[in-house]
Homo-oligomer: A and B are copies of this chain.
Amino acid sequence: MLQPDLSIVPQDCGVCPIRHRAVCARCDADELQILEEIKYYRSYEAGQTVIWAGDRMDFVGSVVSGIATLTQTMEDGRTQMVGLLLPSDFVGRPGRDGAAYNVMATSDLVMCCFRKKPFEKLMETTPHIAQRLLQMTLDELDAAREWMLVLGRKTAREKIASLMVIILRRDATLNLAQPRDRISFDLPLTREAMADYLGLTLETVSRQISALKRDKVIHLEGKRHVMVPDVGRLLEEAGDDSDGGMLS
């Protein structure tokens, strides 16, 4: 129960749902074949720890399905989420032995793993992989920097709205197109996880979600499902000036 389930039937890269978004996105058929040889699948249950910060890490890999988080913890227990990993996101750093952060499965999670040594060697001979990894890392750096603005300068209400906008955006790019207005989505995190993401307490998160509901910015169905009657309004609440983009 506490061990990852290793009895997953290996899947063909050709039918992989993240084939064209993950680190292997640019690989051609030959390159995929080499990857097939060093890859294996692992699945984790919701709540399980994938790896602890500081532990030796003998693999890197991609999230195939489910959601994982990267967190950092101080001695006294204060924790800050530093990454939210959705399908196609990459985990691990080639050229480093230990994990820098805690990686936790927030939902049931399936990962496509590559043994680290062979992967590193492959990276040297296969520019397509390194190129794609650079692109993905630059995107993550941008996301981290946007998050620094949220953490450093936004109010609690703006932080909650910003989180919802981020989830909305990632849903929009990942899934199919959504109807223009009346967009809805599921919060993939508990109140506590949201608090760790936003640098707040879970009580403040709860209060601000209630406030947004009271002010008709959002509408809740159950604890997790959010309906947004007016996306523009939510963007205003988030303090994002760029109201255009993919949601117009």
Contact = CB atoms under 8 A, between A and B. Distances in A.
B142 A80 contact: no
A72 B127 contact: no
A221 interface: no
Interface string A147-162: 1110111000000000
Nearest to A241: B75
Interface in A125-174: 127, 130-131, 133-135, 137-138, 140-142, 144-149, 151-153
Contact of A134 (B130, B142, B149): B130
Query: Majority SS of interface residues in chain A?
Result: helix
Contacts of A198: 152
B241 A151 contact: no
A183 interface: no
Contacts of A75: 239, 241
Given A72-B148, A74-B153, A127-B127, 17 more contacts: A72-B145, A72-B146, A72-B149, A74-B241, A75-B239, A75-B241, A82-B148, A82-B149, A93-B138, A100-B145, A127-B130, A137-B137, A144-B144, A144-B145, A147-B148, A151-B199, A152-B199
Contacts of A151: 148, 151-152, 199
Interface of A: 70, 72, 74-75, 78-80, 82-83, 93, 95, 100-101, 124, 127, 130-131, 133-135, 137-138, 140-142, 144-149, 151-153, 198-199, 239, 241
A95 B152 contact: no
Given A131-B130, A137-B138, A74 B239 contact: yes
